[in-house]
Amino acid sequence: MLDFFAIFSKGGIVLWCFQGAGVTESFTGPVNALIRSVILQERSGNNSFNHNALSLKYKLDNEFELVFVVGFQKILTLTYVDKFIDDVQLHFRDRYKNELEQRGALKFLLNDFEFGDDFHRLLREAEYGNKAKAPVFMRTFKESEKSKKTVKSMIETKDGDKSKEQGGKKSKNAKKEAESGGDQAKAASQTASKKAVENGNEGLTPEEIILQNRAKFISKQLGGGKPEKPSKSPKPQKPKGKANRVWDMSGRSTGHLDYSGTNGNNSSDAQNQDPDATVEPLIQVDSMKGDLRGVDYESSDDDEEEEEEVQEEEKVVVANTNKKGAKRGGFGGMFGMLKGLVGSKNLTQEDMEPVLDKMRDHLIAKNVAAEIASQLCDSVAKKLEGKVMGTFTTVASTVKQALQDSLVQILQPKRRVDILRDVLEARAQRKPFVITFCGVNGVGKSTNLAKISYWLIENGFTVLIAACDTFRAGAVEQLRTHQRRLNSLHPPEKHGGQPAVQLFEKGYGKDAAGIAMEAIAFARNQGFDVVLIDTAGRMQDNAPLMTALAKLIAVNTPDLVLFVGEALVGNEAVDQLVKFNQALADHSRTDKPRLIDGIVLTKFDTIDDKVGAAISMTYITGQPIVFVGTGQTYSDLRSLNARAVVSALMKA
Amino acid sequence: MDEKLHLDLDDFSEEQFMESFLKEIQSEEAVFIIGIFVALALVILTIVFFGNFWGTSKARNAVLLLGLCDSGKTLLFTRLLLGKFVRTQTSITESSATYKTKNDRSSSWTLIDVPGHESLRVQIVEKYKAMARAIVFVVDSSIFQKDVRDVAEFLYSILTDNIVANNAPTLVVACNKQDITMAKSAKLIQQQLEKELNTLRLTRSAALSSQDGAVGGSVYLGKKGKDFEFSQLPNRVEFIECSAHGSKREDGDADIDALEKCLAKI
């Protein structure tokens, strides 16, 4: 049922492949897509990938530099695939160990890897093992263990339950035994699972039970903190607290059933609340006099719960690292250290974990978004697992080097970034090159738009600025001031009589997409080289504004959609970019929606070496950083130097 | 008696000798031992230095296979080494092997297949550019018209790299995939590349400097004032047509004779 299975070297040579019966398409396309989008973009954390109708799973073998890829139809859910890949990998390694241990790339070419028979055998085993599990039918009441027990043995005596609950359980059991038939199976299975815990207490005296429970409690405290949690939250205790309603007279006396007295008390409370509600607004308006109130914080309950979770996680982590430390110490300190330095050994997950944790914290301290840092570390772990280290290299240095390489890889642009060349191309085709700037409020769109237009007119192009920010007060005037200044710096005489920069604006309150369309038509008529569209800043959660932006981009199809983000942003960068891309994809009318094509990183001079925002943004979108803004004058525009950013990031 | 005296004298002289020796050592102990150690260290250092120098003198013996993704580098690599056909995927790491030229001299050097993917190529080229004796730039002739700007940009970034410009390795542009009917000829590709590199000279020199003030490769290709031509470069440049697939794919041989002849001349 597999579509294909391929084993190839990291250098690109296919060692062995298998194509399922009836599959006509070659697997080269999907596998290439897998490599480009997952492995090369450092998203190897999760090992499955969807491409059109195919679902691909892969495994890297870092010791012999191999990749194992299996592909099957997305609609099939094959549960044996993960284990199957692992088995195939182990089998292949063992069988061809000698050939693979040779050096150089020729080992892949000179040897024939005839793996077909083994593969088919493993496939049959995996499929058979999967089918062997027959569906489990629920037991009927007669078959269940409960029917074979006496009622007395099922009386709950654990954890100091009150007699009321005992009575409750007894009556429940009585009810259940009375109805024999119908929904026995359901009730039986439910109670069977509950009773499984209680059956352990059969036949013990209460004191022994108490001692047992105390021992359990102490062991829980020492081991992990998680089981404590259920005892803290009050919710599970509520159903236990409910008393069973006893119908003595089967509801004959209605007076007994009249609970309006107690209800009446509640309603009187509700009435008391209303006058407070009407009084409150008056109080709020009054209190603006004098000092301002502080910022509202979230409810303290949530904070407490979060703190407790964090503490428990820390306890678990501390327990784990203590165990590890004990292991190492037991090995004999000096000897272990020397062993780590000399000789070749394989990297395992446990070796890398402490180093990766430190690197993750270091990245987060340098303003990389938290989830991106952890995804990056997972990807590096996958890449290094099983790799053989050379002599005199420590685990820490190998991991650091690998992390550095992957960071540089992420920052390298995946496509050609040369705006001047593209503008020349558009000029040759007699149409203007349209660039749109979008982003949240206050990141520096208008300032950087002015800087970019200065750069363009310095290189001899004519620029039209379209003022599509029709909301913010003073946006159009700001652009007009920039236009005047730029024109004074580059007087029209130099540009053959035509002013270098012109502003196209239609005032405030109009539809931005319409203004953009008119601006582009105007530019085409007048022969402008570049059109820069300035949009209003908007929060990514604001659905109507995001729709409006998506409409502007879908209707006008600009050549370049630039997202302007500030370097100071932290974890927010992830949310902003994801939501912007999502909005652009959702509201576009074509199959190939125009997404964000590039990033402008602004306010770069305000961060010292906490340059993590660059990594977060490029990782999320996969698009390059086209411009870097480093100040507020016209010449403060730079391009990104990947190496410098990564060295600033890895600096201690 | 005489023997005894003789013996005594002998013992005495030996003792004296030993004592005097010991005295000497004790008096000049520190200096003596330090002297021995320094001499040993110097010997070791010189051996290490010579080893390095020898290593660097053997440096430029690599031929790099560069090009965009899907241009056929890995298949060409296999064809040159073994002449057989293999299925290939996008390379993630570089592959290197020793290549023996098929001529009288039978010299051998390392052939390195560099992945073409944009995020990998810069780092790997950094590693190997100093060792490059020649660069084989593989171009997909069938889709060249679409990719001409990307091809030119890659070629430009290699040629303007300081180390490469200083070493001036031989440049062989292999126009691959000639078995496809739409493939452009080597002459046409050369003309198009010259035009494109001409434009790139202008736009790249006007490009923004990077954020720490460093300006990219300050090498100017060709002669100022004149249109760019490959003959203006200090490197030896050759344009060759080849087909790694060959006319019959798995069964037949590849048409790489011209390429092999060229490589033999390196």
* Separation between Cα atoms, residue A39 and residue A47, nearest integer Å: 10
pLDDT per residue over A287-319, tens digit each?
Answer: 566 666 666 554 444 444 444 444 444 444 444
Give A539 or A386, the one with higher predicted confidence. A539
Q: Give A629's strand partners.
A: A637
User: What confidence tier does A214 reach under pLDDT thresholds 50, 70, 90?
Assistant: confident
pLDDT at A182: 44
A8 with B113: Cβ contact below 8 A: no
pLDDT per residue over B188-225, tens digit each?
Answer: 888 888 888 888 888 877 777 665 555 555 677 777 77
Phi, psi of A325 (to 5 degrees): -60, -40
On whether any CB of chain A is under 8 Å from the CB of B198, the answer is no
Give the ipTM of the model, two decimals please. Answer: 0.72
* Gap from B90 CA to chain A (nearest CA, Å): 5
Chain A hits for B120, Cβ within 8 Å: 40, 409, 412
Phi, psi of A487 (to 5 degrees): -70, -30
On whether any CB of chain A is under 8 Å from the CB of B98, the answer is yes
Residue among A108, A109, A421 whose CB faces B149 most closely: A421
Other beta carbons within 10 angstroms of residue A527's beta carbon come to 11
Mean pLDDT within A411-440: 89
Q: Which of residues 581-640 of A touch B (CB under 8 A)?
A: 604, 627-628, 630, 637-640
| pLDDT for residue B62 is more than 60 | yes
Full 3-state SS string of A44-97: CCCCEEEECCEEEEEEEECCCCEEEEEEEECCCCCCCHHHHHHHHHHHHHHHCH
Mean pLDDT within A167-179: 48
**Most confident range, picked from A173-182, B8-17, B219-228, B235-244:** B235-244
Contact status, residue B233 vs residue B221, Cβ threshold 8 Å = yes
On whether any CB of chain B is under 8 Å from the CB of A408, the answer is yes
pLDDT at A478: 92
Sequence-ordered strand ranges (E) for B30-169: 62-67, 95-100, 108-113, 132-140
* Gap from B261 CA to chain A (nearest CA, Å): 22
pLDDT per residue over A235-282, tens digit each?
Answer: 444 555 677 776 665 655 666 666 676 655 544 444 444 444 444 444
Contact status, residue A155 vs residue A170, Cβ threshold 8 Å = yes
B91 with A11: Cβ contact below 8 A: yes
User: What confidence tier does A45 reach under pLDDT thresholds 50, 70, 90?
Assistant: low
pLDDT at B90: 86
Query: What is the residue type of A113?
Result: F
Chain A hits for B122, Cβ within 8 Å: 408, 412
Among A108-122, A324-338, B92-106, the least confident range: A324-338
| pLDDT for residue A194 is more than 60 | no
- Disruptive mutation site among A17, A60, A106 for chain B (greatest number of B CBs within 10 Å): A106
**Residue/partner pairs of A588-595 with CB below 8 Å, 24 or more apart:** A588/A550, A588/A553, A588/A554, A589/A554, A590/A554, A593/A554, A594/A553, A594/A554, A594/A557, A594/A558, A594/A561, A595/A561, A595/A621
* Gap from A62 CA to chain B (nearest CA, Å): 11
Q: Give A637's strand partners.
A: A629
Chain A hits for B208, Cβ within 8 Å: 455, 627, 637-639
Mean pLDDT within A332-346: 61
Contact status, residue A231 vs residue A220, Cβ threshold 8 Å = no
pLDDT at A132: 66
- Of A240, A98, A111, A116, which is closest to residue A169 (Cα–Cα)? A240
Interface size between A and B, measured as CB pairs under 8 A: 136
Q: What is the mean pLDDT of chain A?
A: 76
Q: What is the mean pLDDT of chain B?
A: 78
Question: In the structure encoding, which two tokens stand for residue B250, read together?
Answer: 């798995």
> Pairing between strand A14-19 and A4-9?
antiparallel
pLDDT at B33: 83
pLDDT at A312: 43
A643 to chain B: closest CA residue: B123
Q: Which of residues 480-519 of A touch B (CB under 8 A)?
A: none
* Separation between Cα atoms, residue B123 and residue B112, nearest integer Å: 14
On whether any CB of chain A is under 8 Å from the CB of B203, the answer is yes
A412 with B122: Cβ contact below 8 A: yes
pLDDT at A339: 57
Residue among A408, A413, A414 whose CB faces B123 most closely: A408
| pLDDT for residue A599 is more than 90 | yes
DSSP string, A197-236: HHGGGTT--HHHHHHHHHHHHHHHHHH-STTHHHHHSSTT
Percentage with pLDDT > 70 across chain A: 70
| pLDDT for residue A581 is more than 70 | yes
On whether any CB of chain A is under 8 Å from the CB of B199, the answer is yes
B88 with A408: Cβ contact below 8 A: no
B74 with A13: Cβ contact below 8 A: yes
- Of A365, A432, A267, which is closest to residue A570 (Cα–Cα)? A365
pLDDT at B218: 63
Chain B hits for A412, Cβ within 8 Å: 118-120, 122-123
On whether any CB of chain B is under 8 Å from the CB of A417, the answer is no
On whether any CB of chain B is under 8 Å from the CB of A456, the answer is no
Residue among B98, B119, B202 whose CB faces A40 most closely: B119
Cα torsion A375, A379, A381, A385: sign: positive
User: What confidence tier does B24 reach under pLDDT thresholds 50, 70, 90?
Assistant: low
Residue keyed to tokens 């010299």: B107
Chain A hits for B87, Cβ within 8 Å: 13-14, 17, 28
On whether any CB of chain B is under 8 Å from the CB of A459, the answer is yes
pLDDT at B211: 58
User: What confidence tier does B76 reach under pLDDT thresholds 50, 70, 90?
Assistant: confident
On whether any CB of chain B is under 8 Å from the CB of A35, the answer is yes
Report the side by side order of strands in the sheet with A598-602.
Answer: A501-504, A463-468, A530-535, A433-438, A560-566, A598-602, A625-629, A637-638
Contact status, residue B204 vs residue A418, Cβ threshold 8 Å = yes
Mean pLDDT within A412-425: 87
How many residues does this entry show for chain B?
Answer: 266
Cα distances from B106 to residues A635, B99, B101, B102, B263, in angstroms, run 57, 10, 5, 6, 11
* Separation between Cα atoms, residue B113 and residue B90, nearest integer Å: 12
DSSP string, A302-357: HHHHHHHHHHHHHHHHHHHHHHHHHHHHHH-HHHHHHHHHSS--B--HHHHHHHHH
How does DSSP classify residue A597?
-
On whether any CB of chain B is under 8 Å from the CB of A40, the answer is yes
Query: What is the residue type of A608?
Result: D
As a whole number of Å, the end-to-end CA separation of chain A is 51
A269: which residues sit within 8 A by CB, 6+ positions away? none
* Gap from A133 CA to chain B (nearest CA, Å): 37
pLDDT at A185: 44
pLDDT at A467: 92
pLDDT at B174: 85
On whether any CB of chain B is under 8 Å from the CB of A39, the answer is yes
Residue among A8, A9, A637 whose CB faces B208 most closely: A637
| pLDDT for residue A118 is more than 50 | yes
Mean pLDDT within B22-27: 63
* Gap from A419 CA to chain B (nearest CA, Å): 9
| pLDDT for residue A436 is more than 90 | yes
